[in-house]
Amino acid sequence: MSKVVKLERRDVIAIVTVNNPPVNALSAAVEGGILECINAAIDDSKVMAVTLTCAGRTFIAGADITEFDKLPKASAWNDLLAAIENSPKPIVAGIHGTALGGGLELALVCHFRVAINDAKLGLPEVKLGLLPGGGGTQRLPRAVGPELAARMIVSGDPISATEALKFGLIDELVEASETGSEAFARKVLAEKRPLRKLRDDSSKLAAAKADRSIITNAVASMTRRARGLEAPFAAAEAVRAAVDLPFEEGLKKERELFRKLVGGDQSKAQRYAFFAEREAKKVVGIPEGTKPRLVERVAIIGAGTMGGGIGMSFANAGIPVTLIEMGEEQLKRGMRVMQKNWEASAARGGIPADAPAKCMAMINGMVGIENVRDADLVIEAVFEMMAVKKEIFVQLDQFAKPGAVLASNTSYLNIDEMANETKRPQDVLGMHFFSPANVMKLCEIVRAAKTAPDALVTAVTLARKIAKVPVVVGVCDGFVGNRMLDQRDKQAQKLLFEGVLPQQIDAVVTQFGLPMGPFAMSDLVGLDGAWRSRKRMGIKSEIEDALCEAGRFGQKAGKGYYRYEGGSRAPLPDPEVEKLIAETLRRLGRKPHAVGDDEMLERMMYPVINAGALILEEGIGTRPGDIDVVWLYGFGWPIYRGGPMYWADQVGLNRIADRLAFYAKKTNDPSLEPVSLLKRLAAEGKGFATLASAVKAA
């Protein structure tokens, strides 16, 4: 008997229990252990039926992703699937937590499946750049029909146990997975139910054989957002094979597609991103076992776009919010926007129809900062000016209860300066949400000089609780994300002044895989804010100033770098802008010249890598993977490229350092010179990945 799988017999029922924390991942040891137990149960003449369940918090959550990169070994995987499916005795899977990937595939070769109410079942392999590699693409369509199977496999999203029962993926909802599966096994014996093999039942495929649009439509809706990704399309091909081919041939097709993906660059990058996101949650440099403070109520100051979005995130997670404005009118306006957003989601079917009312009930709108007194966490999301924020912190010091964590949502400003306005700097930190805050998952947790470890852990824990992806960063202008993005935008502006059009520059960035280029992004954010700050500081940016002087403030004005028609947000190139740029360049005596796409990409992305290297050198970011997580969840970096620092390692730091030095000369821009960490790693022939192991999480 293996350490991770145990077998016990309760009269005629053999109970196989997997115990491989934290998520009962299918390591080779687990596969071998289950196979050993299943064979022993089949050989035991006293055993009439078998159950397969898991200890701990979840059923098997899939293959052990850490084992993909190890040398392929003769895995018991296919023998295990066959042993269960061909067992002469009924085998019942008892599911709790999440039955995902290989875990669900194991359950699919069992003859019966039961699950507890809040269990989830899914095949999320596409999110790792893979597709199910254990027959899932062939058995799931036979279990639930090809339409739902296509949705589940191509999107990677799980379904609830209730839906699973409705569609025939499970046979019964039970109170507890172990006792429930045992009772169900006894029922199967008592009722002499025949053993059911999904591979032998193609009845649910008939409709899709007759009407191909069933799959085509399901796949189309799931692949709409899959631009540049290989796995979703391969997954769709495997599901189509389930409809078109006999089972064994479909299985062969699945294996062929899986082998191609698992060795490919995209899956390697996506598996890297999976672990980088989990590593980022581990706060470095705090005492082992630091516990978060209790947070039962949150106060948010400012009911504008950011404050409202942040409030929605907490309310969505069931955490009561005191939303504070300085005036009744602003408060009402902010609350109305939140109500409208929730109602729009409900209308789209994103949340239940009764959710808007429930969420609004979590929001207690008040006027006056003294209403922070019962909050355990206060987040200010007021106007982005240091003087205003300092004043807020002076008042928070006066009104917030002792021990409350005091956070600023600032996207650039110095948290230390805000902390120094209080007598409790140990409670002060940044929680930088990305707009729209109720949608974007990234939350930069800014650690100030005096931030207490438990305050930091409180912010990270809360961010996770509201389904955000927290990354701890240090205090500097723009922290990690914006500081790096500024470098890209600076180079984009330079290309504009060399006569390259906004749409050409944006196209290079979107073709690379980012959702939006710098100029479409400026139109989305609005050009007027930056214009006002430039005027305040006496800084000129001739092209953008000319756009603002012409009232072209971006999407909000229906025109900016692009024009926007009929309320659509789709950016349309505008000959007016091309004329305005040409006139400005003429006035400045600039000679427009063409720049190739490859050069544009290098000149925009390599300075981003350089800034990332400086952030690591200064200790503002602790791990290269943290920086990658910031870009994946803050700016939509294409997951199949892993993240900027991962991508830089694939390009080669040598090449990046050389090209930066070249462009520094060519464009007479010393800020492009490679920073010392980048030069050192390049000279040593290393990548940023070598730094990751140097950082030990607490």
Give catalytic residues, as residue numbers. Answer: 105, 125
Give all strands (DSSP E) within 376-499, no chain letters: 377-380, 405-408, 428-433, 442-447, 469-474
For ligand T1G, the closer of residues 77 and 512 by Cβ is 77
Q: Is 230 in the site for ligand T1G (CB under 6 A)?
A: no
Among residues 382, 378, 367, 381, which one has the least CA distance to residue 321?
378
Question: Residues binding ligand T1G: what is the number (CB under 6 A)?
Answer: 24
Residue 231 binds ligand T1G (CB under 6 A)? no
Question: Strand 49-54 relative to strand 363-367: parallel, antiparallel, unpaired?
Answer: unpaired
Residues 666-695 that bind ligand T1G (CB under 6 A): none
Instruction: Please report how close the Cβ of residue 552 comes to ligand T1G at its closest, in angstroms.
Output: 44
Letters for 43-82 (x = contact with ligand T1G by CB under 6 A, - = none) are ------------------xxxxxx----------------
- What spatial distance separates the first Cα and last Cα of the chain, rounded to whole Å? 34
Helix ranges (DSSP H) in 90-160: 102-109, 136-144, 146-155
CB of residue 640 vs ligand T1G: minimum separation in angstroms? 15
10-49 residues in contact with ligand T1G (CB under 6 A) are 22-23, 25
* Torsion angle defined by CA atoms of residues 324, 328, 329 and 333, in that order, rounded to the nearest 10 degrees: 40
Region near ligand T1G per CB under 6 A, out of 131-139, 232-240, 306-314, 593-601: 131-139
128 lines the binding site for ligand T1G (CB under 6 A): yes
Residue among 317 and 651 whose Cβ is closer to ligand T1G: 317
SS3 (DSSP) at 354: coil
159 binds ligand T1G (CB under 6 A): no
Smallest distance from the beta carbon of 56 to ligand T1G, in angstroms?
Answer: 11
Decide: 14 and 50 in contact? Cβ < 8 Å.
yes
| Alpha-carbon separation of residue 619 from 411, 429, 452, 631, 642 (angstroms) | 18, 17, 18, 18, 22
Residue 112, beta-bridge partner list: 92
Q: Which is nearer to ligand T1G, 80 or 484 (CB)?
A: 80
Binding status of residue 569 toward ligand T1G by CB under 6 A: no
CA dihedral 663, 667, 669, 670 (to 10 degrees): 50
Q: Which residues of 596-625 are buried (b: 16+ CB within 10 A; e: fewer)?
A: eeeebebbbbbbbbbbbbbbbeeebbbbbb
Taking residues 253 to 282 in sequence order and writing x for each that binds ligand T1G by CB under 6 A, - otherwise, the string is ----------------------x--x----
The residue within the footprint of ligand T1G, chosen from 90, 102, 232, 250 (CB under 6 A), is 102
Counting contacts by CB under 6 A, is residue 307 touching ligand T1G? no
Determine the residue type at 557. Answer: A
Q: Quick check: 626 binds ligand T1G (CB under 6 A)?
A: no
33, 90, 94, 101: which one contacts ligand T1G (CB under 6 A)? Answer: 101
In the complex, least distance from residue 4 CB atom to ligand T1G, rounded to whole angstroms:
13
Window contacting ligand T1G (CB under 6 A); options: 127-135, 454-462, 497-505, 509-517: 127-135
Nearest distance, CB of residue 425 and ligand T1G, angstroms: 30
Judged by beta carbon, residue 63 or residue 362, the one nearer ligand T1G is 63
* Footprint of ligand T1G on 347-376 (CB under 6 A): none
Our finding on whether 141 is near ligand T1G (CB under 6 A) is no
**Shortest reach from residue 232's CB to ligand T1G, in Å:** 14
**Range in contact with ligand T1G (rule: CB under 6 A) among 121-129, 355-363, 448-456, 604-612:** 121-129
Could you say which of 20, 53, 87, 98 contacts ligand T1G (CB under 6 A)?
A: 98
Instruction: Say if residue 686 is exposed, middle or buried (CB neighbours under 10 Å; 0-12, 13-18, 19+).
Output: middle
Q: How many CA atoms lie within 13 A of 117 on its CB side?
A: 1
Q: Write b or e for each residue in 455-492: b if 16 or more Cβ atoms lie within 10 A of its Cβ, otherwise e.
A: bbbbbbbbbeebebbbbbbbbbebbbbbbbbbbbbbbb
Task: Please say which residue, 24 or 345, places its beta carbon nearer to ligand T1G.
Answer: 24
Which span (132-140, 322-330, 475-483, 646-654) binds ligand T1G, by CB under 6 A?
Answer: 132-140
Asked if 124 touches ligand T1G (CB under 6 A), the answer is yes
Min dist CB 350 to ligand T1G, Å, is 20
Q: Which CB atom, from 238 or from 660, has the smaller least distance to ligand T1G?
A: 238
**Interface with ligand T1G (CB under 6 A), residue from 100, 119, 159, 581:** 100
**Residue nearer to ligand T1G on the CB measure, 101 or 554:** 101
Q: Which is nearer to ligand T1G, 128 or 215 (CB)?
A: 128
Burial degree of 693 (CB within 10 A; 0-12, 13-18, 19+): exposed
Per the structure block, which two tokens stand in for 263? Answer: 């060795």
Out of 13, 15, 47, 130, name the contact with ligand T1G by CB under 6 A: 130
Which residues touch 596 (CB under 8 Å, ≥6 apart)? none
- Taking only Cα atoms into account, the Rg of the chain, rounded to an integer number of angstroms, comes to 28
| Minimum CB distance to ligand T1G, residue 1 (Å) | 23
DSSP state string for 8-28: EEETTEEEEEE--TTTT-B-H
Q: Would strands 363-367 and 172-174 be described as parallel, antiparallel, or unpaired?
A: unpaired
CA distance 403 to 211: 63
Question: Using CB under 6 A, which of the segments 7-15, 93-101, 398-406, 493-501 binds ligand T1G?
Answer: 93-101
- Beta-carbon contacts of 45 under 8 Å, excluding residues fewer than 6 positions away, are none
- For ligand T1G, the closer CB: 17 or 98: 98
Q: How far is the CB of 179 from ligand T1G (least distance, A)?
A: 23
Q: What is the DSSP string of 104-115?
A: HHHHHHSSEEEE
Nearer to ligand T1G, 292 or 436 (CB): 292
Measured between alpha carbons, how far is 94 from 182 in angstroms, rounded to an integer? 8
Length of the chain: 698
- Does position 132 bind ligand T1G by CB under 6 A? yes
Phi, psi of 176 (to 5 degrees): -140, 145
Phi/psi region, residue 499 (left: phi>0; alpha: psi -120 to 50; beta: rest), is: left
Instruction: Based on the shown chain and the rule CB under 6 A, indicate whether residue 125 belongs to the binding site for ligand T1G.
Output: yes
DSSP SS3 for 408: strand
What is d(CA 437, CA 547) in angstroms, rounded to the nearest whole number?
Answer: 28
Write down the least CB distance from residue 236 to ligand T1G, Å.
16
Q: By C-beta, is 130 or 656 nearer to ligand T1G?
A: 130
Q: Which is nearer to ligand T1G, 102 or 232 (CB)?
A: 102
Q: Write the burial class of residue 234 (CB in 10 Å: 0-12 exposed, 13-18 middle, 19+ buried).
A: buried
Q: Which residue from 31, 36, 105, 454 is in contact with ligand T1G, where contact means CB under 6 A?
A: 105
Q: Which residues bind ligand T1G (CB under 6 A)?
A: 22-23, 25, 61-66, 98, 100-102, 105, 124-125, 128, 130, 132-134, 136, 275, 278
